[in-house]
Amino acid sequence: MAKRYRVGVIGATGRGDFGHAIDTAFTDVANAGVVAVADADEAGRRAAMERTGAMEGFADYREMLDRVHPDIVCIGPRWTTDRQDMVEAVAGHGAHIYCEKPLTGDLETADAIRDAVEMQGVRLQMAHQWRAMRPVQQAIQDVRDGKYGRLLRMRARPKDDRRGGGEELLVHGTHLFDMMIAFAGPPQWVSAHVSVDRRDARAEDATQATEPVGPILGDSISAMFGFGDGVRGFFDSTAGLSPGPERRFSELYGLFLECEQASLMLRQPGDVFVYPAPRVLPDIEDLAWDKQVIPDWHFDADGNARPLRKEWLRLGNGVLANDLITAIEEDRDPLSPITHGVWITEMVQGVYASHLSGGVRLGIPLAERRHPLAESS
């Protein structure tokens, strides 16, 4: 008889809540069920129990771990202030983890989290729902297989809203960097420039993000990352460029890939478009973008288009939850493992370290694990 996994949920109402629907990630998973919820806020705890169907609720997540002994724990808060303590406690109980992003804001904490997970032999899946979309998964496989020739460059652009620059580097960069790693493997070096008010940013300009997820710097960032086989990745973000919903295009968020024989554009909610040339050539009229359609993903059994923009978060969480269970049973890494979380933190922290060193190229892993903004912010 197949094992049924008992899932616990940790939330923090008013302190990062349950993240991006992390509490309901296992709702549609056939061989799993939420058995308990922990949240110090009573109203938030009861609401989460109702959403998940959990029969037990606890004000203290450590008590939940001691009394319930779940197989998997969803760590939901967006705030990273208690991330290390939560991961260490859950891993110490031998439970696997589904974790809200970002993992953390600094490498010292990321290293400690990785050590805790690896020492206890548990699996950690990051909640990078975008890379879980089936068109994106297919694109990753196609690029890896060389379908479009060698991958050359990747260009990431987040939403460029009021959080543009340092905050987006962390909160949206985590998705974009996770996908870069999925396409090209671990980052090897970083070089970056950060500005604030159109001047070079200084360490004393550092602030805290809208929510406590670590120190940030700048309202405009340009960064270049090196990957294996000569692949380069670029990240650009500037605050206040998002055109808003009144425009034909509501946001700039996406990842552009240039291969030898084609270009790929990844757009929300996980759609992939392919152009049959390395760059867009407006003077050649018979070249056009082709949306990569997966029939049973984009359409239901009656041929109606699925409302993916409304469902993508639920679908992505479900894919990652199922994958975590499969990874546990097959003793392999999940789609977005702890190693991705650490590499992403290397990329984010490396941007600041490079800029404050005059834009020099720094090797990854970074030699200095302490965050260069730790004291300034």
pLDDT at 247 over 90: no
Rounded-to-integer distance, Cα 23 and Cα 77, Å:
10
Instruction: Look at residue 209 in the predicted model and tell me its pLDDT.
Output: 93
Identify the CA nearest to 41 among candidates 7, 74, 17, 6: 17
Instruction: Look at residue 345 in the predicted model and tell me its pLDDT.
Output: 98
Query: Where do we find the tokens 């960032």?
Result: 221
What digits encode the pLDDT tens for the residues 223-238?
Answer: 999 999 999 999 999 9
Question: Which ranges in the chain belong to alpha helices (H)?
Answer: 42-52, 61-68, 83-92, 107-120, 134-144, 166-171, 173-184, 295-298, 308-330, 338-355
pLDDT at 316 over 80: yes
Rounded-to-integer distance, Cα 177 and Cα 159, Å:
14
Mean pLDDT of 286-300: 96
Q: At what angle do helices 83-92 and 107-120 cross, to 10 degrees?
A: 10
Mean pLDDT of 206-211: 94
Contact 89, 65 (CB under 8 A): yes
Largest CA distance in the chain: 67
Q: Residue 252 — pLDDT band, cuts 50, 70, 90? A: confident
Entry field: residues in the chain? 377
